[in-house]
Amino acid sequence: MKFIVSSTVLLKNLQLISGVINPSNTLPILDDFLFELKDKTLKITASDLETTMSVTVPLDMAEDPGLVTIPAKLLLDTLKTFADVPITVTIDKETLGIEISAGEGKFKLSGHKSDEFPIAPAIEDPTTLILKSDVLKNAFNKTLFAAGNDDLRPVMSGVFCELSPDDVTFVATDAHKLVRYRRTDSQSDSSTSFILPKKPLNQLKNILPENIDVTILYDQTNASFTYESVNLICRLIEGKYPNYEAVIPKENPNTLIIERIPFISSIRRVSLYANQSTHQVRLKINGQELILSAEDIDYANEAKERLTCNYSGEDMEIGFNSKFLLDMLNNIDTENVKLEMSAPNRAGILLPVDLENEHEDILMLVMPVMLNQ
């Protein structure tokens, strides 16, 4: 096996898929990239058993097709040190010895047999859906932070995708906070739903280019995302997603509209004085005035700050975990936000005000915390 490729092109493509590789693997072969050489293209694959990602790299020259796995970390670290130079990679199929030549340098390392590398799952009788990369990026950015980390409830550790002929909806929740992101400018031919795991979505949102078509194929157990020369296949999370619509309160007569950035700054400052285990911040709304306060009785720390707001409803006092509130506010892009509430013991609904995209519908829900009287 032998091929010549630009070091920058190879590095860029390896970095696209290297996020799939776990820092500590039970199987040593998962620390490797699988190189598959045929014709004038090189297909490189990385896997962690749950997610498999591959990319196709155009070559300047290729001869003697074959398969080999190459240690990922050593290869990446070597390529990072090169300027943009052509490199020649020669692999001895008998010994699996690999030689990389670049300018005056020669680097030798050992490859491994490719037959131990996991085979990517086939998607049986798939359903196809094409979505814009911008829709997916926004959906993942807006929902992933709200997904849970509880191993006992795996269904809540992913993002729930609900597809219908009217819209596509992405939901994430950890039982304390919930985000529903809906797009009415994207549809599916039929109604279906599945739960995507967090890791591959984090990987995708970091590498998806702007405004291109992404082809999604899925069946009962796996989903694949393909764009340009990149393909990612991941195993879906099994189980039934909780009925998220049931927890969204429909009647919320108390409405607070406030500038987002000053609200964030104020919560940040006040929360420094909150109890460090509950992170509780109290919102006292009275007329057009919002008073944010927090205290940590153990250390006699206390903070209070007043903001002007636009409020309609009865005077009320409600407590929230400041971390959850900040997570949500930081994932809304509009200048003003609306907080809808019904009672101090019911969930608050956070909504963007004047969204630029009329096809976008974002709803965030945060559970209150009991106020210490």
pLDDT digits (tens, 9 = 90+) for 264-301: 999 999 999 999 999 999 999 998 999 999 999 889 99
Residues 6 or more apart in contact with residue 261 via CB below 8 angstroms? 335
The CATH number given to whatever domain includes residue 72 is: 3.10.150.10
Q: Are the C-beta atoms of 170 and 161 separated by less than 8 Å?
A: yes
Assess if residue 181 is contained within a domain.
no
Q: Which helix (H) or strand (E) holds 240?
A: none
Once rounded to an integer, what is the mean pLDDT over residues 315-320?
Answer: 96
Once rounded to an integer, what is the mean pLDDT over residues 199-224?
Answer: 96
Residues 140 and 93 in one domain: no
List phi, psi (to 5°) of 245. -65, -30
Average pLDDT, the chain: 95
Instruction: Output the CA–CA distances (angstroms, integers) from residue 231 to 17, 178, 353, 355, in the order listed.
Output: 9, 29, 37, 32
Would you give the distance in Å from CA 168 to the centre of its chain?
17
Cα angle, residue 173 at apex, residues 129 and 373 outer, rounded to 5°: 160
Once rounded to an integer, what is the mean pLDDT over residues 147-169?
Answer: 94
The domain boundary, picked from 116, 151, 169, lies at 116
Residues 112 and 20 in one domain: yes
Rounded Cα distance, 326 and 332, in Å: 10
List phi, psi (to 5°) of 372. -80, 120
Assess if residue 322 is contained within a domain.
yes
Assess if residue 176 is contained within a domain.
no
Assess if residue 234 is contained within a domain.
yes
Sheet holding 280-286, edge to edge: 301-308, 289-296, 280-286, 316-321, 368-369
Assess if residue 82 is contained within a domain.
yes
Residues 93 and 137 in one domain: no
Query: pLDDT at residue 352 above 70?
Result: yes
Q: Are the C-beta atoms of 206 and 19 separated by less than 8 Å?
A: yes
Q: What is the pTM of this model?
A: 0.92
Assess if residue 48 is contained within a domain.
yes
- For strands 316-321 and 368-369, give the pairing: antiparallel
Q: Are the C-beta atoms of 17 and 75 separated by less than 8 Å?
A: no
List phi, psi (to 5°) of 259. -65, 135
- For strands 127-132 and 86-91, give the pairing: unpaired
Residues 233 and 267 in one domain: no
Residues 59 and 134 in one domain: no
Residues 213 and 267 in one domain: no
70: β partners? 33
Would you give the distance in Å from CA 334 to the centre of its chain?
21
186: β partners? none
Q: What integer pLDDT is reported at residue 39 of this predicted model?
A: 85
Residues 6 or more apart in contact with residue 86 via CB below 8 angstroms? 4, 5, 6, 7, 60, 102
Q: What integer pLDDT is reported at residue 64 of this predicted model?
A: 93
List phi, psi (to 5°) of 20. -70, -30
Residues 229 and 304 in one domain: no
Query: pLDDT at residue 152 above 80?
Result: yes
Residues 103 and 200 in one domain: no
Assess if residue 342 is contained within a domain.
yes
pLDDT digits (tens, 9 = 90+) for 4-46: 999 999 999 999 999 999 999 889 999 999 999 998 899 999 9
Cα angle, residue 56 at apex, residues 51 and 60 outer, rounded to 5°: 150
Query: pLDDT at residue 372 above 70?
Result: no
Structural domain harbouring 257: 248-369
H helix intervals, the chain: 7-18, 72-80, 133-143, 198-207, 260-271, 322-329
Residues 144 and 69 in one domain: no
> Which one-letter amino acid corresponds to residue 113?
K
Residues 239 and 133 in one domain: yes
The domain boundary, picked from 56, 89, 116, lies at 116
Q: Are the C-beta atoms of 45 and 53 separated by less than 8 Å?
A: yes
Residues 6 or more apart in contact with residue 89 via CB below 8 angstroms? 1, 2, 3, 4, 5, 98, 99, 100, 101
Query: pLDDT at residue 302 above 60?
Result: yes
Query: pLDDT at residue 231 above 80?
Result: yes
Assess if residue 168 is contained within a domain.
no
